[in-house]
């Protein structure tokens, strides 16, 4: 993941110490012991999914940077994880001389993960689908994902009810995956996985 990050940014800066500083801040956040799913392993999975649709993205490097930053801030009690993550991305990328128009695109991608709604941008639709791809994983991988989410929030007495509402909102979507590529690959299994988890919570 470090290699991906550096390859996206080295064309714009030769400040290696600053690159290292920003990368260390990223790894520290994703290595927080409270995290069960939103870890560096999640980023690795997300990265692999983006690789699958690389040929369909108009700006692959910016999608990778948005992927790396999208959950850098987590556990915000006021529900502003995405907004705070986007602020960190903007701050880092400005200091690293990333083009301002691409910083705006990165910010939009991160904010789109708040609702995972269909977007007018094809790149954003592929991006949010890649983020959601774990929902359509095999049963073992999905179970690990669900357990990781429970680790992050399971000590709350409201976890089961809140989790059930989130899962039901996914099923209520006309299409969980917005692109044909991910829809065909994951939609059917995602709905089976989600319904199974809801049944377990009932």
- pLDDT surpassing 80 at residue 20: yes
Q: Each residue of 83-117: pLDDT tens digit?
A: 999 999 999 999 999 999 999 999 999 999 999 99
Number of domains in the chain: 1
Q: Each residue of 157-168: pLDDT tens digit?
A: 889 999 999 999
Nearest alpha carbon to residue 149 among 137, 138, 134: 134
Q: What share of the chain is helix, strand, coil (3-state, %, to 5)?
A: 70, 0, 30
Give first-to-last CA distance, the chain, whole Å: 38
Whether 95 and 17 have beta carbons less than 8 Å apart is answered as no
Q: Taking CA 197 as the corner, what is the angle to CA 192 and CA 137, rounded to the nearest 5 degrees?
A: 50
Domain with 135, as residue range(s), is 2-201
**Confidence at residue 157, expressed as pLDDT on a 0 to 100 scale:** 87
Nearest alpha carbon to residue 68 among 135, 5, 148, 3: 5
CA distance linking residue 171 with residue 174, whole number of Å:
8
- pLDDT surpassing 80 at residue 4: yes
Q: What is the CATH number of the domain that holds 69?
A: 1.10.3210.10
- pLDDT surpassing 80 at residue 154: no
Q: Each residue of 26-78: pLDDT tens digit?
A: 999 999 999 999 999 999 999 999 999 999 999 999 999 999 999 999 998 88
């Amino acid at each position: 993941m470090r290699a991906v990050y550096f390859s996206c940014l080295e064309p714009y800066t030769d400040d290696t110490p600053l690159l290292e500083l920003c990368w260390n801040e990223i790894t520290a956040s994703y290595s927080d012991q409270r995290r069960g799913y939103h870890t560096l392993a999640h980023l690795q999975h997300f990265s692999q999914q983006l690789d699958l649709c690389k040929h369909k993205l108009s700006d692959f490097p910016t999608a990778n940077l948005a992927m790396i930053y999208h959950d850098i801030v987590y556990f915000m009690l006021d529900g502003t994880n995405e907004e705070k993550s986007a602020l960190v991305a903007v701050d880092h990328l400005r200091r690293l001389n990333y083009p301002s128009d691409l910083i705006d695109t990165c910010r939009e991608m991160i904010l789109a993960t708040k609702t995972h709604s269909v977007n007018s941008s094809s790149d954003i639709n592929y991006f949010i689908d890649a983020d959601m791809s774990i929902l359509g994983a095999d049963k073992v991988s999905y179970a690990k994902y669900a357990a990781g989410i429970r680790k992050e929030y399971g000590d709350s007495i409201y976890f089961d009810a809140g989790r059930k509402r989130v899962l039901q909102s996914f099923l209520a979507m006309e299409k969980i995956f917005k692109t044909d590529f991910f829809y065909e690959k994951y939609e059917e299994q995602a709905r089976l996985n989600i319904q199974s988890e809801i049944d377990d919570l009932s």
